[in-house]
């Protein structure tokens, strides 16, 4: 079975390449992308606050609001920038007293297109039977001259 970049189940995902084919420092490129994600996402969606955490071992949380986490996962030069409903104890305890799940899903539905246009350069087309993923340049990346 092929391996691809990880991201939380049910998340909205924008894909980018970390390595543009040039001999650049991949760690530096990663840190620049992280800062770009934080700045662009907070400008577009002011409810987000910086957050330093992880979902499992591969999905790094960068930002959080009352409903969702925004994060990044990488594998072999491919970055998945994602929005996913929060999955922490504090969220579920608050949900018990005042349900948030429906509002979180509604919010994700409202912002998903804008989020992908803002940060996505690649679009997932499909997967082969061995699990390998196929991507194409997104229309917004092509229009911007990428």
Instruction: Choose between 28 and 138: higher pLDDT.
Output: 28
Predicted TM-score (pTM) of the model is: 0.87
Residues 57-109: tens digit of each pLDDT:
999 999 999 999 999 999 988 999 999 999 998 888 887 888 889 999 999 99
Sole residue written with tokens 């499992």: 56
Q: Which residues pair with 50 in a beta bridge?
A: 63
Task: Kindly state the average pLDDT of the residues 47-59.
Answer: 96
SS3 annotation, 130-142? CCCEEEEECHHHH
User: pLDDT at position 128, please?
Assistant: 86
User: pLDDT at position 146, please?
Assistant: 47
- With a cut of 80, say whether residue 2 has pLDDT above it: no
How far does Cα 10 stand from its chain's mean position? 11
Residues 15-42: tens digit of each pLDDT:
999 876 566 688 899 999 999 999 999 9
Helix and strand tally (H, E) in the chain? 4, 7
């Amino acid at each position: 079975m092929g391996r691809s970049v990880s991201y939380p189940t049910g998340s909205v995902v924008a894909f980018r390449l970390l390595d543009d084919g040039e001999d650049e420092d991949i760690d530096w490129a990663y840190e620049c992308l992280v800062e770009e994600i934080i700045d662009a996402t907070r400008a577009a969606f002011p409810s987000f606050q910086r957050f330093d955490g992880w979902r499992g071992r591969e999905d790094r949380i960068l930002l959080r609001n009352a409903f969702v986490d925004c994060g990044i996962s990488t594998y072999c030069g491919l970055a998945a920038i994602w929005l996913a409903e929060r999955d922490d104890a504090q969220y579920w305890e608050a949900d018990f007293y005042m349900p948030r799940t429906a509002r979180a899903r509604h919010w994700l539905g409202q912002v998903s297109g804008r989020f992908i246009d803002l940060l996505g350069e690649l679009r997932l087309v499909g997967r082969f039977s061995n699990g390998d993923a196929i991507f194409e340049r997104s229309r917004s990346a092509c229009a911007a001259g990428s």
